[in-house]
Amino acid sequence: MKSLRITVSVLVLLSIGVFAQSDAHKSDTQKSDAPKSEVQKSFDKLKTLAGSWKGSITTDFPAAKAAFDGKPMYVTFRVTSRGNALVHEMKEPGTPDDPTKDDPITMLYLDGDRLLLTHYCDAGNRPRMTGKMSADGKTVEFEFLDVAGNTKYGHMHHAIFTMIDANHHTEDWTFMMGDKPVQAHFDLQRTN
């Protein structure tokens, strides 16, 4: 029992030391006069979308028009992993708030000097895209990098996030079905 208490004490001390080093590093970084990189500015801009959103979706895919056009779409953003990642979740129109529902999840994060997006698609694959902010600082556009998993049913290929103001943004997503692009446009208002 005594050895268990010692082990737990050591683990607690080690974890405190790790967090203290992490906080000390953050303090040094925050004190630095070095300007933020364009990639960091892009990621910081996207993190301002944290919260819940509701709006309309329009698509140019005939088979999906009846199911989606004019119906509400729900999107949530959550900053996670000590500010190192942003989780984006889409909820289809008319679906219940059910944690067992397999809504598409997108992770946005920095990887060195790149802003990356990984989309965990309900088509069963994981495309990655690299992002870049527009000169006016209102739009972050993601270009296709690669995809893991089966693309038999298509894959997400392109995404654009446009911040209109603090409570209004749009998202434009391009899904590739073979060599045919399918467009979806979300016009979203903040609900909290």
CATH number at residue 133: 2.40.128.20
Tokens of 59: 């698509």
* Number of domains the chain is built from: 1
Assess if residue 171 is contained within a domain: yes
Assess if residue 17 is contained within a domain: no
DSSP string, 20-32: HHHHHHHHHHHH-
Residue 99 is predicted with a pLDDT of 63
143 pLDDT higher than 90: yes
Residue 94 is predicted with a pLDDT of 64
Residue 8 is predicted with a pLDDT of 37
Cβ atoms of 72 and 54 closer than 8 Å: yes
Assess if residue 63 is contained within a domain: yes
Assess if residue 25 is contained within a domain: no
Assess if residue 7 is contained within a domain: no
Assess if residue 24 is contained within a domain: no
Nearest residue to 88 via CA among 41, 43, 132: 43
pTM: 0.80
Residue 70 is predicted with a pLDDT of 72
12 pLDDT higher than 90: no
- Tell me which residue range forms the domain holding 42: 38-190
Residue pLDDT, tens place only, 27-76: 444 445 789 999 999 999 999 999 999 999 889 988 777 777 777 889 99
155 pLDDT higher than 60: yes
Assess if residue 8 is contained within a domain: no
Assess if residue 125 is contained within a domain: yes
